[in-house]
Amino acid sequence: MRDAFIRVLGELAKNDSRIMLVTGDLGFKVFDEYALNYPRQFLNAGVAEQNMMGLATGLALEGRIVFVYSIANFPILRCLEQVRNDACYHQANVKIVSIGGGFSYGALGISHHATEDLSIMRALPEISVMAPGDLWETEEATKAMVDIPGTCYFRLDKSNAGYTNIDSEKFEFGKARCLKEGHDATLISTGGILNEVLKAYELLKEKGIFCRVLSLHTLKPLDLESILKAASETEAVLTIEEHTIEGGLGGAVAENFLECGVIPKKFKRIGLKSGFSSIVGSQQFLRKTYGVDAESIVSNVVQLLNSNRPTMMPNAK
């Protein structure tokens, strides 16, 4: 995803001198070509995220579209107040790009586990939140961010679902993509975990369970229409995120179901229970350990469809 992002950003920067890439001293070798081609549109702000975010705001208010790049929680949590007061409140064209969603850097430990970012960023006013699931979404969302006014949070992942688009497809900011059609359950995911969801889809199909798969690349604003349709048109709705189940994708979907009075027959949030993972490992290992890999998704779907529990039972993990 990172390479797709930087490749597209380079193409955009070529024709748009407003575009600027600011890194927090991360991305070894990744930006060499970009920096060589567009030296006046590239800046290493050093290991100083608070300054980087204020600086980006200042540059943006003077007419630039600033892509701020760092990894995991550094460009958001370290400087959360700068994101809120400086970028968001001033509606500055600051696009915060974080590589390392979820357990992308699983072996590096909790400092590098970005597992609460979506709920925290979603709570901020005047921000768009995007987490692409595949390479096409990454490329298209990068382009879209240039035209989306104001501050964006863009969560990139080490894993991805490849290219899932069809030829004539057009990317729509704020609109979920329906990748598979089925009536038994809807699997809604955000971010790079889409690859696990698509694997789960195939495994479920083998069992005779047909799922709708929605890739919700934009978490804020939320595509209410697609979500509400899923509740009324399929037997169950499951949200899948490599993120805490508190307040992220699952939270957003559940809140809106209730408030809109559209209650799915069965509903489950698949994600991480609140807590730190002091255990480290590869992204795949941690996904399996914490029950968000394809096999876990499959067993959750099977269990949910077989259960007679009312929708409103507490989410038992």
Partner 1 sequence: MDSVKLSQKIRLHALRMTNRGESSHIGSVFSMADILAVLYACILKYDSKRPEWEERDRFILSKGHGGAGVYAVLAECGFFPISKLDTHYQDGSDLSGHVSHKGIPGVDISTGSLGHGLPIGTGMALAAKLDDLNRRTFVILSDGECDEGSNWEAALFASHHNLDNLTVVVDYNKIQSLTTVKKTLNLEPFREKWESFGWAVKEIDGHDHYQLESVFQEIPFQEGYPNCIIAHTVKGKGVSFMENKVLWHYRTAKGEEYDAALKELEEA
Residues touching partner 1: how many (CB under 8 A)?
A: 25
Q: Closest CB to partner 1 among 51 and 226?
A: 51
Angle at which helix 224-233 crosses helix 249-260, to 10 degrees, equals 70
3-class secondary structure, 215: strand
* Measured distance CA(307)–CA(304) in Å, rounded: 5
From candidates 26, 48, 203, 280, binder to partner 1 by CB under 8 A = 48
Find the part of the chain contacting partner 1 (CB under 8 A) among 42-50, 133-141, 174-182, 253-261: 42-50
From candidates 26, 61, 110, 146, binder to partner 1 by CB under 8 A = 61
Strands (DSSP E) found in the chain: 19-23, 42-44, 65-71, 94-99, 127-130, 151-156, 177-180, 185-189, 211-215, 218-220, 236-244, 266-272
Taking residues 67 to 86 in sequence order and writing x for each that binds partner 1 by CB under 8 A, - otherwise, the string is --------------xx--xx
Asked whether position 53 contacts partner 1 by CB under 8 A, the answer is yes
Residue 35 tokens, joined = 């920096």
Min dist. Cβ of residue 58 to partner 1 (A)? 2
Asked whether position 51 contacts partner 1 by CB under 8 A, the answer is yes
Strands (DSSP E) found in 79-182: 94-99, 127-130, 151-156, 177-180
Q: Closest CB to partner 1 among 86 and 139?
A: 86
From candidates 46, 109, 149, 162, binder to partner 1 by CB under 8 A = 46
Give the residues lining the site for partner 1 (CB under 8 A): 40, 45-46, 48, 50-64, 81-82, 85-86, 89-90
